[in-house]
Amino acid sequence: MNTEFSFLQNDNLLQDLKQYSLAEANALAKEIREFLVKTTAETGGHLASSLGVVELSIALHRVLSTPDDRIIFDVGHQAYVHKILTGRGKDFASLRKPGGLSGFTKRAESVHDAYGAGHSSTSVSAALGFATADKLCGRTAHTVAVVGDGAFTGGLVHEALNNIEKDLPLIIILNENEMSISKNIGGLARYISKIRSRRSYHKTKSITRTLLSHIPLIGKPLFRLARHIKKSIKNAMYGSNYFEDMGLYYLGPADGNNIEVVETLLREAVASGQSTVIHLKTVKGKGYPPAEEDPNRYHSVPPKGHVNRKNFSQALGETLLSLAENDPDIVAITAAMEDGCGLYPFAEAYPDRFFDVGIAEEHALIFAAGLSLGGKKPIVPIYSSFLQRAYDSILHDVALQHIPMVVPIDRASLATQDGTTHHGIYDVAFLSTIPEIRIFAPTTFASLAHYIKEGTSADTATFVRYPNAGELTDDSFARHGKTLLCQINREKTNEPDGYLLTYSHAVLEAKRAVGLLAEQGFSCALVVLEQLKPLPYSEILAILGTSQKPIVFLEEGIRTGGVGVTLYDGIRQAPTLANRSYTVLAIDSFGEGTQCESLYRTLGISAEDVVKAFLG
């Protein structure tokens, strides 16, 4: 670590943090911000959200003692400061690299990461579980869930809130940094909130509570009566709120970028003995002017050397604009991923036909089902790893009822930077089990546009998957039928020495494998599938022919239920293929990486693995 970061050089930072003066704690906050801006410029990462919770993270670790107490960050991309404070700053050069420091919380990485996360809205449920276990076991630990306002749009958060008992050692921090969840409650309410954020207020309150509680016989009832009267007066003056109506102790809203204020509220929450919601307002990107001015742009910054080029998400946005211009029934739905899925141009052009439902993929698809049955043509782009949350909606509410819609599946490939929580390697396997739907994997922007357009007039649900990448094939591939592409090197004979089958993002590794094989005098036909369900068996059999040349299927997806295994089950019924060598190279794990090694090599799906499968 650079010597300019004097606080971060301290190997006992977590222990010494509690003894720092307020001035020292603020100096540490400044240093952490400088460190985050400098390191993420090299590694990439979630910058704006981390900059917003610097003071909050410092206050949490000054009041609580992890790992005995637990801090659970929703999603986990707010946890960079937490990682630094718990001794992982020295590892930030490996952030979001295979085998390196995760961009999210990860239990295997540190005892201070109580719960792993990469997807949204899970923290309150997990924290409730921890707090309930502590109560049952008689432990004195506290559990804190730090939830951004975006995650509060996920229904899972509210399912958890509905199950919270009042007397748990549980603190929920609502970190409001972008959306206006709370109404403008007026000057009086802001003044009361300011008073409640002062140490003197809570010290007086604590003394009063202690004195009343120790009065024999009538003390505790008297304290409860006083608290009831205070709450009634407050509600009459400026209303109650969602959390208090659910029986939770509510503190805030308050300045979440003020260490002293946050510490005061945390200590009050701990002392109260109640399940508490602390509502904080923070500035996303705080301390770094470019991120403050444009937090969306700096939500996730690319690593050094990254070159922007047109990708499938942008191509989808262009396709939807083109289709919508001539078809007023086309509508677009997103689950809080307008920018990531390339929908911003559509939303600008057709605001009445664009719906952002928040982090609620299940709702998005059932909402789309209703729109479809109402005569519209819904298009619902969802990241592959996020689509997992909506399996029941796909099966029960869409496919079973034969409701047509188009679901573009974005980020359908290995997530080299975001890691295991974001790998888009399961969608083909879990969707293939559902009858009567269709799955396509375009390799060019033109084929993407074709399958999207064709899907808007189909009578069943159409899923179109693609990676976060540019076009995968070019004019060197000959198209066989509508959904099969082939590239055959016939330098030695009219019959290639082997056949390599693949689809989607694995095409890039497959092309490299063909080149490596050619260097060793092995002629390989590269066959690319663009239709994955139903599989075009007759077209595939026509290309494979009747020889006994070996077949290798390369798949950037999970093996069980994947295309490679499914295809083998189908084509082995052909007499000429029953005994033919057929090897499937696919993923058999969650996709953990190894430092300084290609993720493809670690998982056994690299070009070198293909060469080995053919040549031994």
User: What residues are annotated to the active site?
Assistant: 284, 361, 389
Separation in Å, CA 241 to CA 147, 247, 357, 613: 18, 10, 23, 63
Radius of gyration of the chain (CA): 28
CB 276 within 8 A of CB 42: no
Measured at the CA of 271, the angle between CA 182 and CA 223, to 5 degrees, comes to 90
Residue with tokens 């990469």: 118
Question: Amino acid identity of 504?
Answer: S
Strands lying side by side in the sheet with 276-281? 70-73, 143-148, 170-176, 276-281, 249-255
- Cis, peptide link before residue 303, omega less than 30° from 0: no
No. of helices (H) and no. of strands (E), the chain: 25, 19
Q: Which of 367, 465, 448, 357 is nearest to 408 (CA)?
A: 465
- Please provide the size of the chain in residues: 616
DSSP assignment of 248-268 equals -EEEEEEETT-HHHHHHHHHH
Query: Among residues 350, 345, 347, which one has the least CA distance to residue 315?
Result: 345
Of 529, 589, 517, which is closest to residue 554 (Cα–Cα)? 529
Phi, psi of 440 (to 5 degrees): -125, 155
Q: Which helix (H) or strand (E) holds 127?
A: helix 123-137
Closest CA to 523 of 616, 584, 614: 614
Q: How far apart are CA 482 and CA 529, in angstroms?
A: 10
Q: Residue 408 in 3-state DSSP?
A: strand
Q: Which neighbouring-strand residues pair with 484?
A: 480, 529
Q: Which amino acid is at 31?
A: E
* Residues with Cβ within 8 Å of residue 273, at least 6 apart in sequence: 167, 169
Burial of 274 (0-12, 13-18, 19+ CB in 10 A): middle
Helix runs in 562-603, H state only: 563-571, 599-603
Alpha helices, DSSP H only, in 53-90? 54-63, 80-83
Q: 582: which strand partners?
A: 551
Question: Is residue 226 within 8 Å of 219, Cβ to Cβ?
Answer: no
Amino acid letter, residue 148:
G
DSSP letters, 534-547, are S--HHHHHHHH-SS
